[in-house]
A and B are shown apart, each in its own frame.
Chain A
Amino acid sequence: MNFLITRPEHDDTTHYLSNWAKKVIGCAEIHGFNVIDLNREMAVQKEFESRITKNNPCLVMLNGHGDDNLVTGHQNKPLLIGGTNDKLMKSRIVYALSCRSAKELGVKAVSSGAKSYTGYDDDFIFSYTPSMISRPLNDDKAMLFFEPSNLFIDSLIKGNTVQEAKSKSEQLFRKNITKALGSQNGANLAKNLWWDLRHFVSYGDLTSSI
């Protein structure tokens, strides 16, 4: 089975998204998936469309900046746009770790035949430690945000339905909110985790699985 992932990496935000996505790639490979990894300059619309058509992935994860109707790739150039190339998501399970794209693009992708589209209907906000930028996977603050996000894809890879994967992610978000509230100055982390949890949405057939 093929799993396509986009990982632009041109600013602090995409640097964190891209590095944490490596864990998801590791999980997919362990479970026998063929991973099509569009990292940095490869995360552009032409390459994305070509690989989707050629490799026909059942699972797509988009990491990057976004807006109500699009997700971007390298240097914030549009990658997937509602009403333009969202038909490419037909018959696929899609997860966008991106701001706001679930609001319009997610709905359009499902209307165009995507099995499901999961993402955020407002900004995805995360806290991090700037001094850990060279070792983002060791950043305990960022971990609180990216572990629940990664758990969604990991659960799908292990055969869970979209609804089951979403529930597991939500439970971990909640657990991390409690953990943050128990730590010194953790309320600032907890409020951002709560925001992400509140705006984490899935559309389409939530009983679908890979």
Chain B
Amino acid sequence: MSGTEKEIKELVIARLETMPSDEKVSIGSAGEFNKEELISEVKKGSSIGKKIIEVEMEFLRAMKEGIIA
């Protein structure tokens, strides 16, 4: 894993840490995940973990580009 990939993973995990414990996320057929499970998938680098990273990074890019105000 490159340094950048490691940093991205750490960033996504840090942002997931802010998620309330009484919240779950439904990700299609993959199922439903709470905060700990989402973080675990990101750490493992599973396909769901990669999806979670993609969702986070798309959002951060949109914020940076001012698409989301």
Q: Which residues of A pack against B, CB within 8 Å?
A: 11-13, 16, 65-67, 76, 99-100, 123-131, 141, 177-178, 181, 185, 187-188, 190-192, 194-195, 198
Contact = CB atoms under 8 A, between A and B. Distances in A.
B51 A188 contact: no
Contacts of A65: 28-29
A12 B32 CA distance: 7
Interface residues of B, number: 25
Interface in B26-64: 26-32, 34, 51, 55-56, 58-59, 62
A125 B55 contact: yes
Nearest to B60: A191
Contacts of A125: 25-28, 55
A187 B18 contact: yes
B contacts with A: majority SS: mixed
B58 A198 contact: yes
Majority SS of interface residues in chain A? helix
A195 B15 CA distance: 16
Contacts of A67: 29
Nearest to B48: A123
A131 B24 CA distance: 10
Contacts of A188: 15-16, 18-19, 23, 25
A16 B22 contact: no
B16 A123 contact: no
6 contacts: A13-B32, A65-B29, A125-B26, A125-B27, A187-B59, A195-B59
B19 A12 contact: no
Nearest to B55: A195
Contacts of B34: 130
A190 B24 contact: no
Given A188-B18, A194-B58, A127 B23 contact: yes
Given A187-B15, A190-B59, A195-B59, A127 B28 contact: no
Contacts of A66: 28-29
Nearest to A195: B55
A124 B32 CA distance: 12
